Every structure is written in C-alpha cells, then in structure tokens.
C-alpha cells in the first residue's frame, strides 16, 4: 500500500526541499515570468551564485483545455537542489497544448535567446525534459546542434512521432477489430469524447470474460505494454499473467485509451489528416517480438480461444492508410536521424505504459547507425509508472552528465554506483504519486537504478525505415 508521509519531521524536510532551503541557499523567490510573441509564457530563474550552467526544461504533454503554465523543472525538489547548486533554470509553456512539438521547438529557443540577452551567455547549456519534453529535448539538439552542450531526455518519446502514433494505431486497431467489432474510430476521429466513452465501455465488458481479457492482452502486446502499473508495488512475477493483464487494463483505462481514442484527434487537427498507417504490418510477427507474447499465449489457451485465428483476422482486416501531408507534418514534428555530437544521457523506468521503455532501443539504433554511439548513454530505473523518478535519481543522472562534460568521459554509470550516490541524497529519495482522490503525495522510494537492455521497438522508427 502507498505510504503517505505524515510525521512533522518528514513534512518539514519536504518543505525545505521544495524551496531549496535544505541545501543551503535560502528560500527562493517566486520565479520571474514573461510572455513570448506567440503567447507562450516562460520562466527564467538565476540563483545569486550562478555558476554559468543553464538547464532548459521541456515539459510533457498537456491535454487541450487544461492549464498550461511554464515549467523550468519537473518537480520542486529537483528544482530546489539545482538552484541551490548555482544552476540557472528556464523553460516555456509552449504556445498551445497537445502534440505541441512544432511550437515547443520554436518557443524553447526563443527562451534561450531571451536568457542570453537579459542574463548573459551561459558557459554550458543543457536541454532536458520529461515525456513529450523528452522528444522535444532530442528535437532541440537535432535542430539546433550548436546551441547545446549536453542533453538529458527522460521517459522520452525517442522512437519519434511517426513510430509512436503508428504503435498506438496497432493497439487501437486490434482492440477495435477483436473487441469492439469495428465500432470505434481509430483514425479520423470526429467525436473524441464519445469515441473514448464507447472504447471504455467495450473495455469494461471485455475485462469481464476470459476471452475478453485474452484479446485485451493481445492489443496491449502489440504496443509492448508492460504488466506493471503501480510505482509503489513490486513487479509481478514473469508467469503471473493474471496480474500482468490486470495492470495492462489499468494502463489502458487510466492512461492510454484517452490518447488512442480521443487525443489523437488533436494531432489529426494539427496535421490536417491522419498521419498513421498499418499497411504491410504482420501482426503475427509483431506479437512474436513482443515482451508480452507468453502472457498472450497463456491467456488465449486458458480462454479456449484460437490465437492464430485472431491473428489471421487482424492480418486480413482492411488496413489504415496515412494521408501524405499529415505524415509529412508528423515527420517534421519529429523523427530522429541519430546525428548527435554532444553527450546525451537518457533515463527511463522499466514499467512505463505510456512511453514504453523500448523507445530507448529505437533511439540507440538510429544513433548507432549514424556512427555516434560514443555520445549516448542510457540509464534505467526498476519501477513502474510514467516518468516515476525520484529527485535523487534525477539529480544523480544530472551529476553523471555534468561529469561527462567536465572530464570528457562517461564514468560510474553502473547501477550500483548510481544507487549509492542517489541514496546519499537522503530525503530526495521520494516519488510523487496521485491518490484515487486526486491528491499528490510524496512516498519514500529507494534508489532503483538497474542494469537493463530493453527489447527492440516493434515499429520502424521513422517513415523512411522499412522492415
């Protein structure tokens, strides 16, 4: 069960961490704000003891209609630690919510230019960000290679926009074909709210029978959905297929279905059409490469279903074609070419069901193929959840990246060394979780770096790659 921090001492420590006072710098004032010509807001924070280093933060996806403030760090604890160490922070809101990569790539550079003109030229500029901010971080250094000295994409969509939305289409296509009887819009979504409501209804009905659960597992497997959801709970055993499927249901209901069956409409509006395709995809081959293949086979056998028959149905169902101009939009916003010439360190949890850890395999492959493997290193945290890193783990990754800049070498990236350094940060070893009542609480979390090699990404990583 989740362990809420209740005692006065722990609350006092957290209050100090949130302001940075526990790290010797005093309480930081409210950050200065500004507005860019396109309406995006921004933050720039420069501590009195600025050491010349600037971290430019890119935030994650914001649902259209939700508040869209600017952020310059992922959480207040990490923010406080970095400011106390003399690091300047900056970031923008982006001009719009949703798949805002086009605006973000412009707005973040605009903030960087404002920083240079109002504060001064940083000695080192580091791009960093979470989730959608991870793909933006990688996009910034690809588009503006001379503006940055290093990058830290965290839980990033590093397979690129085309592969990400194609993978989402695979899961939605299987769910619609095998569970919903073709009753959903998987692309060209006209009524997102009703489409999502219909999908959630089909989901609940399917979960009530062994046959439905087996088909839900297959739908999840085509996107490598992890069978682990709660960041405060241990990972289910390899053969605990019932628990794995129950966790995949939680990912679908609470996180993924809104993107698959509703928020895709926002992207289609931007792109002026459907940018995704499953033409030529062999779903039998897709399942064979999935981390969930044994779970799917076991659940199909328990349900008395013919897996081959369902795979044949998927492979024989009329496919979805992308609109060329919409595909071009998504290629521009953005796919990766592996051309990095600065240090890049990535961070990902194993049990991420929104941006699966296999995104790291996709990015590594394009970087390796471009001959730039020396610049890229990856770190992994053995925990469920999207972007569920403790501030201690984040700061440990930051320190390794700064050390690479200082020494010109990657050192001490073994999990044991990373965990030792994270543990030394004491009360920063917490994660933030949301209760069923919507309250964010801080939960103690031991450092969980581990040695890990994710499997291949199931889809080609850009529109130019064929399998």
Report pLDDT digits (tens) over 406-431. Answer: 999 999 999 999 999 999 999 999 99
Q: What are the start-end ranges of the H helices in 147-240? A: 161-178, 192-207, 210-221
**Mean pLDDT, rounded, for 432-437:** 90
Give the integer Cα–Cα distance in Å for 253 and 380.
26
Range list of H helices, 306-390: 307-316, 324-332, 359-369
Burial of 128 (0-12, 13-18, 19+ CB in 10 A): buried
How far lies 132's CA from each of 237, 279, 432, in Å? 30, 26, 19
What's this model's pTM, rounded to 2 decimal places? 0.93
Q: What are 174-232's pLDDT values in tens digits? A: 999 999 999 999 999 999 999 999 999 999 999 999 999 999 999 999 999 999 999 99
Tell me what the mean pLDDT of segment 367-386 comes to. Answer: 97
Q: DSSP class of residue 292? A: T
Strands 376-384 and 430-434: unpaired
pLDDT in tens, 35-90: 999 999 999 999 999 999 999 999 999 999 999 999 999 999 999 999 999 999 99
| Percentage of the residues of the chain whose pLDDT score is greater than 90 | 90
Provide DSSP, 450-464. --------SS-SSTT
What Rg do the C-alpha atoms of the chain give, in angstroms? 22
Summary mean pLDDT of the chain: 93
Angle between helices 76-84 and 8-19 (to 10 degrees): 60
Say if residues 92 and 42 touch (Cβ distance below 8 Å).
yes
What are the chain's domains? 8-158+335-444 (3.40.50.1820), 162-330 (no CATH)
Convert the pLDDT of each residue in 85-112 to its tens digit: 999 999 999 999 999 999 999 999 999 9
pLDDT at 17: 38
**Residue partners of 376: CB distance under 8 A and separation at least 6:** 340, 344, 345, 346, 363, 364, 367
pLDDT at 464: 58
Q: What is the pLDDT of residues 149-163, one digit of tens each?
A: 999 999 999 999 999
């Amino acid at each position: 069960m989740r362990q809420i921090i209740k005692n006065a001492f722990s609350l006092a420590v957290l209050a100090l961490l949130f302001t940075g006072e526990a790290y010797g710098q005093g309480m930081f004032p409210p950050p200065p704000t500004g507005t860019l010509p396109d309406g995006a807001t921004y933050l720039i924070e420069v501590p009195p003891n600025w050491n010349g280093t600037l971290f430019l933060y890119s935030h994650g996806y914001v649902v259209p209609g939700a508040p869209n403030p600017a952020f310059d760090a992922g959480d207040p604890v990490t923010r406080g630690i970095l400011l106390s160490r003399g690091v300047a922070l900056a970031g923008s809101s982006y001009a719009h919510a949703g798949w805002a990569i086009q605006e973000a790539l412009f707005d973040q550079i605009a903030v960087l230019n404002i920083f240079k003109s109002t504060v001064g030229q940083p000695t080192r500029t580091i791009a960093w960000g979470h989730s959608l901010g991870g793909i933006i971080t990688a996009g910034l250094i690809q588009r503006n290679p001379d503006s940055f000295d290093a990058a830290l994409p965290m839980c990033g969509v590093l397979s690129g926009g085309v592969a990400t939305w194609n993978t989402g289409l695979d899961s939605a296509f299987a769910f619609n074909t095998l569970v919903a009887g073709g009753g959903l819009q998987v692309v060209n979504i006209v009524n997102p709210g009703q489409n999502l409501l219909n999908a959630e209804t089909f989901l609940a009905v399917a979960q009530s029978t062994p046959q439905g659960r087996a088909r839900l597992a297959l739908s999840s497997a085509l996107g490598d959905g992890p069978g682990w959801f709660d960041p405060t709970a241990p990972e289910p055993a390899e053969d605990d297929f019932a628990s794995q499927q129950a966790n995949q249901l939680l990912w679908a209901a609470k996180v993924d279905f809104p993107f698959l069956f509703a928020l895709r409409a926002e992207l289609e509006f931007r792109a002026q059409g459907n940018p995704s395709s499953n033409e030529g995809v062999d779903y039998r081959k897709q399942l064979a490469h999935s981390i969930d293949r044994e779970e799917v086979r076991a659940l199909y056998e328990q349900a008395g279903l013919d897996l081959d028959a369902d795979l044949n149905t998927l492979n024989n169902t009329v496919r979805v074609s992308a609109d060329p101009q919409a595909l071009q939009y998504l290629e521009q916003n953005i796919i990766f070419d592996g051309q990095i010439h600065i240090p890049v360190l990535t961070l990902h949890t194993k049990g991420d069901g929104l941006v699966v850890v296999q995104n790291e395999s996709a990015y590594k492959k394009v970087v390796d193929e471009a001959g730039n493997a020396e610049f890229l290193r990856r770190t992994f945290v053995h925990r469920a959840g999207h972007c569920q890193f403790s501030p201690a783990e984040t700061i440990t990754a930051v320190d390794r990246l700064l050390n690479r800049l200082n020494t010109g070498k990657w050192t001490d990236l073994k999990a044991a060394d990373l965990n030792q350094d994270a543990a030394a940060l004491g009360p920063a070893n917490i994660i933030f979780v949301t209760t069923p009542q919507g309250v964010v609480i801080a939960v103690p979390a031991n450092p969980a770096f581990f040695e890990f090699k994710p499997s291949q990404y199931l889809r080609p990583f850009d529109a130019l790659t064929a399998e």
